[in-house]
Amino acid sequence: MALKVGDKAPDFTLFSSELKEVSLKDFAGKKIILHFFPMAFTGVCTTQLCTMRDNFGFYEGLGAQVLGISVDSPFTLAKFKEENNYQFPLLSDFNKEVSQAYGAFYNEFVFNLKGVSKRAAFVIDENQKIIYAEVLESAGDLPNFKAIDDIVKS
C-alpha cells in the first residue's frame, strides 16, 4: 500500500554508513527529507544525492534533516558517502523492510536483481506525518526537487 500525504511515517531503525543505529524518532521535532535510491555508485542515484548535497545548506538553514536510504550494505554506503562528500547520513536497508514499508521497493530490478529500493522522496513534518510523497516507477527519473524545497519551506 502506497503511503500518502497525511499518513504517519513508518518508524524505523537502520545502521548508518558510520555503523551507528539511526531511528526516525531521533529526529522528532524536525522536518525530514527522506530519499530512497536504488544503488550506490550509479549515475542517477549519484545525481539525486549530489543534488541534496549541493542544497544541504538550504535544508540545514530551515532546520531540516536529510537522510538517504538504499538496500546497499553500510560498508558500500560509507565508501559512496566518502567519495561524494555527502554531509547527511546514508542508511542501509539491507533487510529491505523500510523500503517495503514506504512502498519504495522493486521486487525485481535490472540484471535480475531482486529487492531493490525504488527512487522515492518523502518529506516528514515535525510530528512525523508525511507532508510530501513521491515514489518513481522509473529508476531513470529524479524526484521533483522544487516541490520538495517548496514543502520544506512551508
Share of residues in the chain with pLDDT > 90 (%): 66
Asked if residue 117 has pLDDT above 70, the reply is: yes
Indicate the helix (H) or strand (E) that contains 83.
helix 74-84
Give dist(CA 85, CA 95) in Å, integer: 26
Which residues does the annotation mark as catalytic?
45
Measure Cα distances from 18 to 31, 103, 119, 146 in Å. 22, 26, 23, 30
Q: What local confidence, expressed as pLDDT, does residue 108 receive? A: 81
Asked if residue 13 has pLDDT above 90, the reply is: yes
Which residues of 26-148 form beta strands (DSSP E)?
32-36, 65-70, 90-92, 105-108, 114-117, 120-124, 130-135
Q: Number of H helices and number of E strands within the chain?
A: 5, 9
Asked if residue 91 has pLDDT above 80, the reply is: yes
Q: What local confidence, expressed as pLDDT, does residue 147 receive? A: 94
* Mean predicted lDDT score pLDDT of the chain: 92
CB 39 within 8 A of CB 79: no
Q: How confident is the model at residue 5 (pLDDT cuts 50, 70, 90)?
A: very high
CB 40 within 8 A of CB 119: no
Sorted by where each starts, the structural domains of the chain and their CATH numbers stand as: 39-153 (3.40.30.10)
Indicate whether this model's pTM tops 0.75: yes
Residue 24 is given by DSSP the state G
Q: Hey, what's the cell of 151?
A: 514543502
Q: What local confidence, expressed as pLDDT, does residue 87 receive? A: 94
27-86 residue pLDDT tens:
999 999 999 999 998 888 888 888 889 988 888 888 999 999 999 999 999 999 999 999
Q: What local confidence, expressed as pLDDT, does residue 38 receive? A: 92
Question: Which positions ≥6 away from 108 have C-beta within 8 Å?
Answer: 114
Q: What local confidence, expressed as pLDDT, does residue 1 receive? A: 57
